[in-house]
Every structure is written in structure tokens, then in C-alpha cells.
Structure 1
Amino acid sequence: MNNRICLNDLVERCAQSPHLPAYESGGWGLSYGQLLTRARVLAAALGQLWPGEGPILLYGHKQPALPVGMLACLLAGRAYVPCDEGWPAARVETVFRQAGAAALLFADEAPAPWPEELPTAPLWPMCEPGIIEPLAAPRPCSPEQTAYILFSSGSTGRPKGIPVPRRALANFARWITARPALTLAPGETVVGQAGFSFDLSLTDLTLAFCGQGRLVSLSREELADPALLFRQLSASGAAVLVCTPTFLELCLCDKNFSPALMPKLRAVFCCGEVLPRPAAEKFLSRFPGAALLNAYGPTEAACAVCAVNAADALATFADGPLPVGLVEQAAVEIAALGPKGELLAEGEPGELALRGESVFSGYLPGSGDARFSGGWYRTGDSGFVKGGHVWCTGRLDDQLKYCGWRIEPGEVEAALHALPGVERAAVLPQRSPDGRVRRLCAFLQAAQSARLPEEEVRRLLAQRLPAYMLPGRLFWLDELPVTENGKCDRAQLAREFLL
């Protein structure tokens, strides 16, 4: 598919509905006319100020300037790199250098402290119409050119850069907008929970902008205050909600989360982690007639590649975990592979693997090597395919999922090792009865010097890691237990402290 044609279609839709609301968050908003006009101005400015194809970091949270920046980068043929303003400045700098970025554009304030030699500029003034001649048409791009780069936790001790090509973004857009329950009429509203550095946000952005819909992106303040949250959910008039299962469960804890609060809600799209069967049952009983889609997909394959209607799954499978997708309706080919890359028989557990337009081609240099086998991308997720359905049953490595975020314990351990007085460190998850991660626990062995106070450990860690990667509990031990091979005995730590 010609990805320029796909982008031209999006631009044409924006131009056809200049007065329709496009985006709202935190009391600020944009119409489609404002979104397109400002994106064209910014796209032209990028080429003049920073010629070439270097990626552009977009730093903020959910300010309207950020979707303007994303669209501008796509128009200008540049990859965008969303960085949340809640990240420590040191992490943003690491991401900047790993991505080989040309500049950092910020919504409100630049990260501090920030090296003077790395260029920064405010997003909003650069978008002002009249300052520069707007870019007339999207620049031609190869389908293999990078559309955006997301950074997840890395097992090497630093963030892992995941470049997603334009063909993958176009394929995701085709797939997600073809889901009948999610299709928006012009002017309808989709509510999004995720920040832009979390790939789940790609779903609500795509649904809204491809359907001339209105995206209401929940602010940090609304997500932290149940009263504000429910007030916004009620006022939004949402037809579609895009969220993690954890967020849906939190909403369901309040009996006010019901059709009386959201009378127009007809579909919820859940992705990023396991959707528990009880949560699906509770939602469907609370919102009879609404569709609940349980989806699956790694960041390396443009957000999501398959989904299943939870009501159908509950009716088909009387007990056990819910499937995460239907093979025939997936955006890519899906299979379970054995240790040597062999295709496994139906129902046989193995490693989930993907092949097709949505799959990326590899990580940024220094971020590790992607595992491909016979054209299949090996996800690291365990699972199986049976009866046309896909199940994801966990991980085959140490990677953890917490509230939808991917966390490599090795990166948290590396940050702990860098603290003064820490000789050894181990990070383990504390899990709820259904197997999901409740919080991270850090086990520290002190060197000769005195142990750091817990509050000091947390303060120093917060200078290196985003909040979702910070351990919820800290244990100072005289010695960490070891196995016969001299490695940390994580099983013993789990038995003694976490069970």
C-alpha cells in the first residue's frame, strides 16, 4: 500500500470537516481545521530549522500541541518520538541520543536539566499560522520509513528503541477502523486513557482522526481523581472507550460506572495486559448491549494485531482465561512456534509469533536484537492457537507487564546498582491471585558503607526511571541468596518475602 495515499486521505478528511472538534484534553481543544493548519505550518518549519530526516522528540503529556506535532512529523516525512513530561530528564536525554534525534519540541517546558548542545524549541509558537508558509502536501515516503519510535524498558539496562515503519501504521489503521463496533461517525467521541508514550494511545488517535471523530484524552489530574474522572466520562458523551483492563476494573469498582453515566457508550477496546474473565463478565452485565473487545499485540507490531468480542468468547468458552483474538480477523499472520522455530500443532503451547505488514524490522542499534525465525517475529509471549482463537498465557522471559507497561527487571536493577552503597540488587514482581503484577519489589545488598534510607533510594531512582518502574517495596538484606551457579536465587526470595 502507498502510505502517502493513506496520509493524503487523512489530510482530506481533516480539510472536509474544519469546524468539527478533533481533540480535547485538560480543558483545551482543537478543531480539525486548527489541527491541520498548525500541523502544516510545523511540518514546513521542521524542514527549515532541522533539515534532513532526523527524528523529532515530542515532549509533554496530552497537550493539544502533541497531536499537532505527530501529524506534522508524518507530513514532513520525519519520525516522531513521544516522551512523557513525567519522565526524568536523564531518561529523555538517553532517548534523544539513542534515537539520533534532530531536536526536542516541548509542549509546556523543556526537561531540566538539559544539555545546551541538544536543540530544543517550544511546540506551540512554531505552529502559529502566518509565521511560515505551510507545507502544501505530504512529502513522499517509503513504506519502510519510520513513522514513530517508542521506547520501552530494556533488558540491557537502558530504554529499548522500537522504530515502527509507515507500512505498519497504515496496516494498523486499516485493521482497527474495520472493526464494526469501533467505527465512528463524524463528530462521535472516543475517550482515551493512555499517554502518547504508551502505544495503546495509537488506537484512540487512529479511530478519532480516521473517522472524523472527537478524541477526549483523559488528563493526569482526571486519572488521579475519581470524582474528576467520572465527571469527564459523563460529559464526554463517549461512544468508544480505549483503555487497559486495569483501568476498566477500577471504573467497575464504582457502581456509578453504568449506562446512566455513559449512555452513548457502545464499545470498549481493552489491550496491554490480561483481561480477567470476572471483569469482562461484570462489564457486560453492567452495560448490556455494549461490545467489549479483548485485544493483543506488542509494540513491535503497531499496537494491536488481533481482538475478540468478549461476549462471544464467554459464550464459547465456559471457563478459563479469555482468548485475545481471532486468527481470521487478525492484522497479521499469527502462529505458535517451538524452540527451534517450528510451527506447532493446534492447541500446542509455544511462543506466539507474528508475520505481516504490521511487524517492525528490528530495534534501534544498541537496543538488542529482535528474534526472527523464518520470517516470523518471535514476541517472547507464551501462548497457543486453537479453534481459530489465540491465547496469550504469559512471558517466556523475565519481562513484566504492569498496568499495560512493559518492564524489564534488568533495567530497574541496573538503576539500583548505580546507587551509592548498593552492592547487589534483584527486582521481583509481587503478584495478585490471578497472576497479574501488583507491584515491583527490590531486594538490596549493601556494600561496606551504611544503607541508604528508603526515601533517599526512591528519590535517586526517580531521577533515572519513570514512575511506573519504581519499586513499591524495598528490602535491605545482609546478603542476597545465591544458587549453586552463583546467581541470585530469585525463587528463594519469592518464597520468603512474596508468597
Structure 2
Amino acid sequence: MNESVNWNDLVTRCAKSPHLPAYESGGWGLSYGQLLTRARVLAAALNQLWPGEGPILLYGHKQPALPVGMLACLLAGRAYVPCDESWPAARVEAVFRQAGAAALLFADEAPAPWPEELPTAPLWPMSEPGIIEPLAAPRPCGPEQTAYILFSSGSTGQPKGIPMPRRALANFARWITARPGLALTPGETVVGQAAFSFDLSLADLTLAFCGQGRLVSLTRQELADPALLFQRLSASGAAVLVCTPTFLELCLCDKDFSPALMPKLRAVFCCGEVLPRPAAEKFLTRFPGASLLNAYGPTEAACAVCAVNAADALLTFKEGPLPVGLAAEAAVEIAVLSPEGAVLAEGEPGELALRGESVFSGYLSGSGDARFSGRWYRTGDSGFVKDGHIWCTGRLDDQLKYCGWRIEPGEVEAALRTLPGVERAAVLPQRTPDGRVRRICVFLQAEESARLPDEEARRLLALHLPAYMLPGRFVWLDELPVTENGKCDRARLTREFLL
């Protein structure tokens, strides 16, 4: 599987070791035999019920039915679109229509309210053996055919669709399984923190299924309860942990997060946001025998494109932020561009740009325009390359990173303007001393008589936005300050309320 994501090969290997555990979450699990059998049945059902190549929305959280649905879509030559059950129904419907989906398959219950004319069906019992004759062989697909579509926050007020071609998924698999300490042997366990609608989940899925390992995917309930979380981590017997830096920091706050809790842990793959230097030092002190990989990559380039061993980086660079990768070992070519699109010399700051097999070809129609300079995809991230190492130093636009999630202030502001009485709105981050987003703050212009209680405002916003985009602080004002050009004076709001 290290050569490519070859689904014929995956089917063969699953069939040879059907007894090995494949997936576990929330007390439910699947062996590779069950995963493959159910996926083949569901793949055949997809092609019979909804002929063609339309994407399939998979709605749920961490239920075992979801990886079955993902594999079924890939076997059937269909793109899968993961939608977390925490999303409001309005967002799911917007994603359905924007993706041009053929159907929505739900793990437990379909989102409500849901338009009757849009087709839905349960993942189970549709994938139960005996329901339909299983798909005999994977459908042949070209490298440019879409494997999956993820939706991130969009600056236009609507979610942005990011289709990922199969070549990108294959290239990511080749790259991540070649990272020292990450590749699993059959039967080993990787623990994944991220929801399937978050591209970081592609790392734990790929590591598990490419190595015939066992994926233990942490549920929302486990992530919210430290005692339950640590019980789950201890019972997992994990060799590899895939998580955001925020999650790792939260674990490190408890002294029980140690080799005594996870004696088999040999590697942690961190991605999605900045890994603070103190967190890296604390982890490596706490787990002296484990490796910590600090990785970087936008959703538009199949999860991650570069990584660096944090222990090596700490020794090489005695102070300052950690690099996010080694240019020579990246999954794609990485350069730093000037505003005009010229490739800058080593050490010069500019915009990080990517080109290669992992990079997508463009957003779904109507979801935004990708910024390409020639064959370079311009990420919008600022950074530089020095001594063969890559640094990411922030954003060149207003996009925010919160617990690994991308948040476009424009989408949140569009939702805020739907609140009764709100005339204008602005979204700004409250940051930690090292520059990371601590919480999302919103400033609302409304007459005092029209102002809603914060909890009521949050409830109404939850009809439009997923939980991770909901504000942590509301500030109601008679008027939002403006600049000489008549635009919201965000710098003044930051000075007066957020510093």
C-alpha cells in the first residue's frame, strides 16, 4: 500500500486477514472482514439506487458505518462528502446542493428538518450482507477523479467545497506511511482525534487502513470528559496518536498523560495549527522514547505535505517558533512567493506555495476561486524557507485557525447579520501571548432594546454554523467604529476590547 492507494490491493489484503480489527469508536467496532463485506454491499447498492457519478454525503459522527461508507464510495468510484452530525441541517443542505450530491446516507438519524425531495437512506441496513449482491470488483477510476470533498468555512458566507483527486490521496498515503515511526504493522493501533469532516482524520484513516492497523477514533463525549478520555487512551494500546497541537496541550496539562498511561506510544503526528515550542519540549520530556512530528498542510493539499521531527528541530533551532517541515522530504514542491508571484530566495518572507501530486485543481463551482500562480497553489499562509526547513508564520488574510479548524470571519459575519436587530457585525480573534486564537469574539451593532441575550444569539447562530464556529464572546455596541474609508475599524476594536 505504500506505493499507492490501490483499492484492488486493499480488497485483497482485507480478505486475507478478515479477523484483524479495523475500526473502533464509541464501544462499537469492525474487523477488516466486516469492513470489506459491508463496503462491497453498500458500493453495489449505491450504483443500483443512484446510478452515475454523483457524490454521496455521509452524515454522522464516529459510527463504524462511516468508514464503511467511505470505502464503499471509493470502491464504487464515487466521491464521499463527510458531514458531521453536529452541523445544522441548513449547512448540510447547502453542502448537498453545492456538491451536486446523489444522496445523503446517515449513520443514525437524518438531519432535521430535511427537504423531502432530497434522497436519504440509512448506512445500515443498506450495507448488511444479504441485502444485495456485493460489488465484484472496484470500479476503475483515473487519477483525476474526485476521491472526497471536504467543506471548509467560506469567505462569501457559504461553506467552500474542496474536491480532492485520487492522485492526491495516493500521494499522501505514500508520503505519510514513509515518515519514521508512523507506518503501522498489522494489528497495531492508531488513535485519531479529528472528526471525519476535518481533513486531519485522513491521516489516521490512511495509517490504519494502509497498514492493516486498528483505528480507535475518539468520540465527542470522550473528548469532552477528561476521565473518560484518559480511560480510552489507556485501553487503546496505541502505537501512534494523530491530533492537533491544542489536543496534545490539553492532554499534557494532566500529569497522568505519560508512558504509564500509553506504554506503547512511539509517535505523535501533530497538524492543523501551530505547535508551541513549550508543548513540544514538555511532550518529549514526558515521553522520552517517543517521536513528535510537527506537520503542515492546507486542506487543498490532502491533509499534510511536510513534517519535521520536533526533537531534531529543538536541537537545531535553540529559540523561536518551530519549523513545520523539511523541504527535501515534502510530499510536494514548496516555495515562497512574492505578491507578484516570483519565487523568493531562501530566508525571504512571503507566501507559501505548493505544486505537485497532492494539490487539488480548484474549488467546486461557486465556492471560491483558488489562487494559482502558474502551477503554484498560493496557500494564503505566510512563511519562509531557511536551511532546508519550512516555517509557517501566520496568514496573509483574515482567515482564522481555531483548534485546527479554518474559520472565515465573513461566513460568521453573514450568520450574525441574520440575528434580529443586528445592523452590522465584525468577527475578531482573542489571541494567546504566542499568537494563537483563544476564542472567537463578535462585535454587534444594535439598539439596546433589540439586543439578545448571548445564549439566545448563540442558539440562533447554531441554526447556521457548526459548533466550532460559534462565538465565545459577544460584545454589543451602539455603533461599530469605522476607519476614514468607512470600513469597520478592526484595529480599534482589538485595542479597546481584546488586548
SS for the counterpart of 1:147 is strand
Question: How far did residue 451 of structure 1 move?
Answer: 1.8
Does structure 1 conserve the Cα–Cα contact (< 8 Å) formed by 2:2 and 2:173? Answer: no
Aligned pairs for 1:298-309 (under 5 A) are 298-309=298-309
Question: How far did residue 147 of structure 1 move?
Answer: 0.4
- Name the structure 2 match of 1:59: 59
- Name the structure 1 match of 2:479: 479
Following the alignment from structure 1 to structure 2, what is the Cα–Cα distance between the partners of residues 5 and 333?
Answer: 21
Opposite residue 291 of structure 1, the aligned amino acid is S
Does structure 2 conserve the Cα–Cα contact (< 8 Å) formed by 1:3 and 1:142? Answer: no
- Name the structure 2 match of 1:279: 279
Following the alignment from structure 2 to structure 1, what is the Cα–Cα distance between the partners of residues 134 and 78?
Answer: 16
Question: How far did residue 453 of structure 1 move?
Answer: 2.4
- Name the structure 2 match of 1:129: 129
Question: How far did residue 455 of structure 1 move?
Answer: 2.1
- Name the structure 1 match of 2:40: 40
Following the alignment from structure 1 to structure 2, what is the Cα–Cα distance between the partners of residues 449 and 360?
Answer: 48
Following the alignment from structure 2 to structure 1, what is the Cα–Cα distance between the partners of residues 262 and 449?
Answer: 57
Aligned pairs for 1:89-488 (under 5 A) are 89-446=89-446, 450-488=450-488
Following the alignment from structure 2 to structure 1, what is the Cα–Cα distance between the partners of residues 61 and 368?
Answer: 28
SS for the counterpart of 1:70 is helix
Opposite residue 189 of structure 2, the aligned amino acid is T
Does structure 2 conserve the Cα–Cα contact (< 8 Å) formed by 1:191 and 1:218? Answer: yes
Is 1:28 aligned with 2:6? Answer: no
Is 1:9 aligned with 2:12? Answer: no
Opposite residue 183 of structure 2, the aligned amino acid is T
Question: How far did residue 45 of structure 1 move?
Answer: 0.2
Question: How far did residue 448 of structure 1 move?
Answer: 9.0
Deviations 1:156-189 (A, max 9, x none): 0010000000000000011111112101111000
Does structure 2 conserve the Cα–Cα contact (< 8 Å) formed by 1:188 and 1:214? Answer: yes
- Name the structure 1 match of 2:82: 82
Deviations 1:220-257 (A, max 9, x none): 11101000000010000000000000000000000000
Does structure 2 conserve the Cα–Cα contact (< 8 Å) formed by 1:4 and 1:138? Answer: no
Opposite residue 200 of structure 1, the aligned amino acid is L
Deviations 1:429-468 (A, max 9, x none): 0001110000011100015962222222111101110111
Question: Structure 1 residues 9 and 425 mapped into 2: Cα distance closer, same or farther (>3 Å)?
Answer: same
Deviations 1:31-71 (A, max 9, x none): 00000000000000000000010000000000000000000
Opposite residue 474 of structure 2, the aligned amino acid is L
Is 1:49 aligned with 2:49? Answer: yes
Following the alignment from structure 2 to structure 1, what is the Cα–Cα distance between the partners of residues 432 and 442?
Answer: 17
Following the alignment from structure 2 to structure 1, what is the Cα–Cα distance between the partners of residues 244 and 22?
Answer: 23
Following the alignment from structure 2 to structure 1, what is the Cα–Cα distance between the partners of residues 28 and 3?
Answer: 31
Following the alignment from structure 2 to structure 1, what is the Cα–Cα distance between the partners of residues 169 and 22?
Answer: 20
Count of residue correspondences: 499
Does structure 2 conserve the Cα–Cα contact (< 8 Å) formed by 1:42 and 1:72? Answer: yes
Following the alignment from structure 2 to structure 1, what is the Cα–Cα distance between the partners of residues 5 and 69?
Answer: 20
Does structure 1 conserve the Cα–Cα contact (< 8 Å) formed by 2:448 and 2:478? Answer: no
SS for the counterpart of 1:382 is strand
Does structure 2 conserve the Cα–Cα contact (< 8 Å) formed by 1:57 and 1:103? Answer: yes
Question: How far did residue 4 of structure 1 move?
Answer: 8.9
TM-score when scaled to structure 1? 0.99
Does structure 2 conserve the Cα–Cα contact (< 8 Å) formed by 1:4 and 1:141? Answer: no
Does structure 1 conserve the Cα–Cα contact (< 8 Å) formed by 2:2 and 2:177? Answer: no
Deviations 1:132-175 (A, max 9, x none): 11111110111101000000000000100000000000000111
Does structure 2 conserve the Cα–Cα contact (< 8 Å) formed by 1:428 and 1:442? Answer: yes
Q: Which of 56-65 and 7-16 deviates more?
A: 7-16
Does structure 2 conserve the Cα–Cα contact (< 8 Å) formed by 1:42 and 1:127? Answer: yes
Does structure 2 conserve the Cα–Cα contact (< 8 Å) formed by 1:4 and 1:140? Answer: no
Question: Structure 1 residues 4 and 45 mapped into 2: Cα distance closer, same or farther (>3 Å)?
Answer: farther
Does structure 2 conserve the Cα–Cα contact (< 8 Å) formed by 1:352 and 1:380? Answer: yes
Opposite residue 234 of structure 2, the aligned amino acid is S
Opposite residue 361 of structure 1, the aligned amino acid is S
Which stretches of structure 1, 4 residues or longer, exceed 3 Å deviation after superposition?
Answer: 1-5
TM-score when scaled to structure 2? 0.99
SS for the counterpart of 1:460 is helix
Opposite residue 364 of structure 2, the aligned amino acid is L
Does structure 2 conserve the Cα–Cα contact (< 8 Å) formed by 1:13 and 1:210? Answer: no
Following the alignment from structure 2 to structure 1, what is the Cα–Cα distance between the partners of residues 170 and 365?
Answer: 24
Deviations 1:58-92 (A, max 9, x none): 00000000000000000000000000000001110
Following the alignment from structure 2 to structure 1, what is the Cα–Cα distance between the partners of residues 461 and 5?
Answer: 45
Question: How far did residue 112 of structure 1 move?
Answer: 0.3
Opposite residue 31 of structure 2, the aligned amino acid is S
Following the alignment from structure 2 to structure 1, what is the Cα–Cα distance between the partners of residues 2 and 146?
Answer: 14
Question: Percent sequence identity over matched residues?
Answer: 89
